[in-house]
Protein backbone atom coordinates (compact mmCIF):
# COMPACT_ATOMS: atom_id res chain seq x y z
CA UNK A 1 0.00 0.00 0.00
CA UNK A 2 1.40 3.38 -1.01
CA UNK A 3 0.79 5.99 1.66
CA UNK A 4 0.49 9.64 0.47
CA UNK A 5 3.35 11.06 2.53
CA UNK A 6 5.03 14.00 0.86
CA UNK A 7 8.71 14.77 1.29
CA UNK A 8 9.01 17.51 3.92
CA UNK A 9 10.51 20.84 2.94
CA UNK A 10 14.21 21.05 3.73
CA UNK A 11 15.67 24.51 4.07
CA UNK A 12 19.26 23.65 5.02
CA UNK A 13 22.10 25.71 3.58
CA UNK A 14 23.60 22.59 1.99
CA UNK A 15 20.37 21.93 0.09
CA UNK A 16 20.21 25.34 -1.59
CA UNK A 17 21.24 25.45 -5.24
CA UNK A 18 23.17 28.60 -6.10
CA UNK A 19 22.64 29.99 -9.59
CA UNK A 20 22.74 33.25 -11.49
CA UNK A 21 18.97 33.61 -11.09
CA UNK A 22 19.31 33.94 -7.31
CA UNK A 23 22.67 35.70 -7.16
CA UNK A 24 21.20 39.17 -6.55
CA UNK A 25 19.07 37.84 -3.70
CA UNK A 26 22.05 36.12 -2.09
CA UNK A 27 24.14 39.26 -2.38
CA UNK A 28 21.40 41.39 -0.80
CA UNK A 29 20.98 39.00 2.13
CA UNK A 30 24.72 39.13 2.76
CA UNK A 31 24.64 42.95 3.01
CA UNK A 32 21.76 44.00 5.31
CA UNK A 33 23.42 47.36 5.79
CA UNK A 34 22.42 48.20 2.21
CA UNK A 35 18.71 47.50 2.75
CA UNK A 36 16.50 50.54 2.25
CA UNK A 37 15.01 51.49 5.62
CA UNK A 38 16.31 48.14 6.94
CA UNK A 39 13.74 46.28 4.82
CA UNK A 40 14.21 43.79 1.98
CA UNK A 41 11.45 42.20 -0.11
CA UNK A 42 12.31 39.05 -2.06
CA UNK A 43 9.79 38.16 -4.75
CA UNK A 44 9.52 35.49 -7.37
CA UNK A 45 7.36 32.63 -8.56
CA UNK A 46 6.42 29.62 -6.46
CA UNK A 47 9.38 27.30 -5.91
CA UNK A 48 11.97 29.91 -6.88
CA UNK A 49 13.78 29.59 -3.55
CA UNK A 50 12.39 32.60 -1.65
CA UNK A 51 11.49 30.64 1.47
CA UNK A 52 14.67 28.58 1.33
CA UNK A 53 16.86 31.69 1.27
CA UNK A 54 14.68 33.40 3.86
CA UNK A 55 14.92 30.49 6.29
CA UNK A 56 18.70 30.30 5.86
CA UNK A 57 18.90 34.01 6.69
CA UNK A 58 16.53 33.62 9.64
CA UNK A 59 18.59 30.75 11.06
CA UNK A 60 21.82 32.73 10.68
CA UNK A 61 20.41 35.89 12.29
CA UNK A 62 18.12 34.21 14.87
CA UNK A 63 15.21 36.09 13.31
CA UNK A 64 11.61 35.71 14.38
CA UNK A 65 9.60 34.03 11.59
CA UNK A 66 6.07 35.25 10.87
CA UNK A 67 3.45 34.15 8.33
CA UNK A 68 1.57 37.16 6.97
CA UNK A 69 -1.48 34.97 6.30
CA UNK A 70 -1.69 34.21 10.04
CA UNK A 71 -0.64 37.58 11.39
CA UNK A 72 -3.80 38.96 13.03
CA UNK A 73 -2.30 41.28 15.63
CA UNK A 74 0.89 43.39 15.53
CA UNK A 75 4.05 41.51 16.44
CA UNK A 76 6.85 42.99 18.50
CA UNK A 77 10.37 42.21 17.27
CA UNK A 78 11.87 42.32 20.74
CA UNK A 79 15.27 43.28 19.34
CA UNK A 80 15.46 40.33 16.92
CA UNK A 81 15.31 40.59 13.11
CA UNK A 82 12.00 39.69 11.48
CA UNK A 83 11.12 37.38 8.61
CA UNK A 84 7.58 37.89 7.29
CA UNK A 85 6.59 35.44 4.57
CA UNK A 86 3.91 35.79 1.90
CA UNK A 87 3.00 39.43 2.44
CA UNK A 88 0.82 39.24 -0.69
CA UNK A 89 -1.46 36.92 1.31
CA UNK A 90 -1.63 39.14 4.41
CA UNK A 91 -4.81 38.44 6.37
CA UNK A 92 -4.67 41.67 8.37
CA UNK A 93 -2.84 44.47 6.51
CA UNK A 94 -3.15 46.80 9.50
CA UNK A 95 -1.37 44.25 11.68
CA UNK A 96 1.38 43.95 9.06
CA UNK A 97 1.73 47.74 8.89
CA UNK A 98 1.93 48.03 12.70
CA UNK A 99 4.53 45.26 12.80
CA UNK A 100 6.70 47.09 10.27
CA UNK A 101 6.35 50.30 12.31
CA UNK A 102 7.47 48.53 15.48
CA UNK A 103 10.44 47.06 13.63
CA UNK A 104 11.40 50.53 12.41
CA UNK A 105 11.23 51.90 15.95
CA UNK A 106 13.35 49.00 17.20
CA UNK A 107 15.84 49.49 14.33
CA UNK A 108 15.79 45.80 13.38
CA UNK A 109 16.02 44.45 9.82
CA UNK A 110 12.93 42.96 8.21
CA UNK A 111 12.99 40.41 5.40
CA UNK A 112 9.73 39.84 3.50
CA UNK A 113 8.74 37.44 0.73
CA UNK A 114 5.98 37.50 -1.88
CA UNK A 115 5.14 36.28 -5.37
CA UNK A 116 4.22 39.68 -6.79
CA UNK A 117 6.30 42.88 -6.99
CA UNK A 118 5.33 44.99 -3.94
CA UNK A 119 4.59 47.98 -6.18
CA UNK A 120 1.85 45.97 -7.91
CA UNK A 121 0.13 44.72 -4.77
CA UNK A 122 -3.36 46.14 -4.14
CA UNK A 123 -2.38 47.09 -0.61
CA UNK A 124 -4.46 48.96 1.95
CA UNK A 125 -3.94 51.11 3.93
CA UNK A 126 -1.89 53.50 1.74
CA UNK A 127 0.70 53.84 4.50
CA UNK A 128 1.49 50.13 4.20
CA UNK A 129 1.86 50.46 0.43
CA UNK A 130 4.29 53.33 0.90
CA UNK A 131 6.36 51.32 3.41
CA UNK A 132 6.65 48.42 0.98
CA UNK A 133 7.63 50.70 -1.90
CA UNK A 134 10.23 52.32 0.35
CA UNK A 135 12.01 48.98 0.77
CA UNK A 136 14.79 47.30 -1.17
CA UNK A 137 13.11 44.94 -3.63
CA UNK A 138 14.94 42.02 -5.27
CA UNK A 139 13.49 39.56 -7.73
CA UNK A 140 14.57 35.93 -7.91
CA UNK A 141 14.68 35.43 -11.66
CA UNK A 142 13.16 32.44 -13.49
CA UNK A 143 15.28 29.33 -13.08
CA UNK A 144 17.87 28.65 -15.75
CA UNK A 145 18.31 25.16 -17.32
CA UNK A 146 21.32 24.33 -15.12
CA UNK A 147 19.37 25.04 -11.94
CA UNK A 148 16.38 22.99 -13.11
CA UNK A 149 18.66 20.08 -13.99
CA UNK A 150 20.31 20.13 -10.56
CA UNK A 151 16.94 20.56 -8.85
CA UNK A 152 15.44 17.54 -10.60
CA UNK A 153 18.41 15.40 -9.53
CA UNK A 154 18.03 16.60 -5.94
CA UNK A 155 14.26 16.08 -5.80
CA UNK A 156 14.60 12.52 -7.08
CA UNK A 157 17.45 11.74 -4.68
CA UNK A 158 15.43 13.05 -1.72
CA UNK A 159 12.80 10.39 -2.48
CA UNK A 160 15.43 7.72 -3.17
CA UNK A 161 14.15 7.58 -6.74
CA UNK A 162 16.45 6.48 -9.54
CA UNK A 163 15.70 8.31 -12.78
CA UNK A 164 17.34 6.90 -15.92
CA UNK A 165 19.08 9.65 -17.93
CA UNK A 166 16.49 9.42 -20.72
CA UNK A 167 13.60 9.84 -18.27
CA UNK A 168 15.38 12.70 -16.52
CA UNK A 169 15.81 14.50 -19.85
CA UNK A 170 12.23 13.75 -20.86
CA UNK A 171 10.89 15.44 -17.72
CA UNK A 172 13.14 18.47 -18.20
CA UNK A 173 12.18 19.02 -21.81
CA UNK A 174 8.46 18.20 -21.72
CA UNK A 175 7.22 19.66 -18.42
CA UNK A 176 6.78 23.40 -17.80
CA UNK A 177 10.22 24.69 -16.85
CA UNK A 178 9.34 25.92 -13.38
CA UNK A 179 10.68 24.59 -10.04
CA UNK A 180 7.24 24.20 -8.48
CA UNK A 181 6.06 22.04 -11.39
CA UNK A 182 9.15 19.83 -11.26
CA UNK A 183 8.64 19.33 -7.52
CA UNK A 184 5.03 18.31 -8.06
CA UNK A 185 5.95 16.04 -10.98
CA UNK A 186 8.49 14.10 -8.92
CA UNK A 187 6.02 13.76 -6.03
CA UNK A 188 3.33 12.36 -8.34
CA UNK A 189 5.71 10.12 -10.27
CA UNK A 190 6.92 8.65 -6.98
CA UNK A 191 3.35 8.14 -5.77
CA UNK A 192 2.20 6.46 -8.97
CA UNK A 193 5.25 4.17 -9.13
CA UNK A 194 4.75 3.08 -5.53
CA UNK A 195 1.06 2.42 -6.10
CA UNK A 196 1.85 0.22 -9.11
CA UNK A 197 4.87 -1.42 -7.49
CA UNK A 198 7.08 -0.51 -10.42
CA UNK A 199 10.01 1.75 -11.20
CA UNK A 200 9.40 5.23 -12.60
CA UNK A 201 9.06 5.02 -16.37
CA UNK A 202 8.42 7.18 -19.38
CA UNK A 203 4.90 5.73 -19.67
CA UNK A 204 4.13 6.98 -16.17
CA UNK A 205 5.82 10.30 -16.85
CA UNK A 206 3.75 10.86 -19.98
CA UNK A 207 0.62 10.79 -17.83
CA UNK A 208 1.96 13.81 -15.94
CA UNK A 209 2.11 16.04 -18.99
CA UNK A 210 -1.60 16.75 -19.21
CA UNK A 211 -1.98 16.93 -15.44
CA UNK A 212 0.76 19.50 -15.03
CA UNK A 213 0.33 21.44 -18.25
CA UNK A 214 0.70 25.20 -17.87
CA UNK A 215 -2.60 26.61 -19.24
CA UNK A 216 -1.68 30.21 -18.48
CA UNK A 217 1.75 31.76 -18.35
CA UNK A 218 0.84 33.69 -15.21
CA UNK A 219 -0.55 30.69 -13.34
CA UNK A 220 2.43 29.94 -11.15
CA UNK A 221 0.97 27.23 -8.93
CA UNK A 222 0.73 23.61 -10.10
CA UNK A 223 -2.50 21.68 -9.51
CA UNK A 224 -2.95 20.25 -5.99
CA UNK A 225 -1.37 16.81 -5.50
CA UNK A 226 -3.59 13.84 -6.19
CA UNK A 227 -4.30 11.63 -3.18
CA UNK A 228 -4.39 8.49 -5.31
CA UNK A 229 -3.26 7.56 -8.85
CA UNK A 230 -5.83 8.51 -11.50
CA UNK A 231 -7.74 5.72 -13.23
CA UNK A 232 -5.59 6.26 -16.33
CA UNK A 233 -2.52 5.28 -14.32
CA UNK A 234 -4.15 2.08 -13.10
CA UNK A 235 -4.79 1.12 -16.74
CA UNK A 236 -1.05 0.63 -17.11
CA UNK A 237 -1.20 -2.49 -14.93
Residue 205 CA to residue 189 CA, distance in Å, equals 7
Is residue 137 within 8 Å of residue 39, measured between CB atoms?
Answer: no
Distances (CA, A) of 36 to 29, 133, 143, 149: 12, 10, 26, 35
Would you state the pLDDT for residue 50?
Answer: 95
User: Helices 126-133 and 93-106 sit at what angle, rounded to 10 degrees?
Assistant: 50
Write down the pLDDT at residue 211: 85
223, part of any domain: yes
Angle at 25 between CA 38 and CA 112, to 5 degrees: 45
Whether 28 and 89 share a structural domain: yes
**Domain annotation covers residue 216:** yes
**Which tens digit of pLDDT belongs to each residue from 109-146?**
999 999 999 989 888 899 999 999 999 999 999 999 99
Query: Is the same domain home to 121 and 168?
Result: no
pLDDT of residue 123: 86
Contact yes or no for 44/28 (Cβ under 8 A) = no
pLDDT at 6: 52
By residue range, what is the domain housing residue 161?
145-234
- Find the mean pLDDT for residues 167-184: 94
* 129 and 149 housed in the same domain: no
Q: Establish if 173 belongs to a structural domain.
A: yes
Residue 10 lies in a domain: no
Q: Which CATH number does the domain housing residue 226 bear?
A: 1.10.8
**pLDDT (average), residues 87-108:** 96
Total structural domains within the chain: 2
**Do 70 and 117 fall within a single domain?**
yes
Kindly state the percentage of the chain with pLDDT values over 70: 86
* Mean pLDDT confidence for 146-169: 94
Average predicted confidence (pLDDT) for the chain = 87
Contact in structure between 143 and 177 (CB atoms under 8 Å)? yes
Residue 117 lies in a domain: yes
For residues 26 and 123, membership in a common domain is answered with yes
Residues 171, 57 contacting (CB under 8 angstroms):
no
State the Cα–Cα distance between residues 139 and 159, nearest whole angstrom: 30
Tell me the three state secondary structure of residue 138.
strand
Which residue among 105, 124, 139 closes a domain? 139
Domain boundary among 139, 169, 204: 139
Per-residue confidence at 9, pLDDT binned at 50, 70, 90? low
User: Quick one: pLDDT band at residue 10, thresholds 50, 70, 90?
Assistant: low
Q: For the domain that residue 31 is a member of, what is the CATH number?
A: 3.40.50.300
Q: Is 57 helix (H, G, I), strand (E, B) or coil?
A: helix
User: Is there a single domain that holds both residue 185 and residue 109?
Assistant: no
Residue 76 sits in the same domain as residue 169 = no
Predicted confidence (pLDDT) per residue in 54-86, tens digit = 999 999 999 999 999 999 999 998 899 999 999
For residues 131 and 47, state if they share a domain. Answer: yes
Boundary residue ending a domain (139, 163, 198): 139
Do 149 and 101 fall within a single domain?
no
The pLDDT of residue 213: 75
Amino acid sequence: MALPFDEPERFALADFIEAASNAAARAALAAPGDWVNRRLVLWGEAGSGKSHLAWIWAARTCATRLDAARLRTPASPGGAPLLIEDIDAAAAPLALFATLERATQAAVPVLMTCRTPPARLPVEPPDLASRLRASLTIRIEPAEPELLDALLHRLAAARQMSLPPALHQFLLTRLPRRPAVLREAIARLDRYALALGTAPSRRLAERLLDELADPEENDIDPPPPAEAPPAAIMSLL
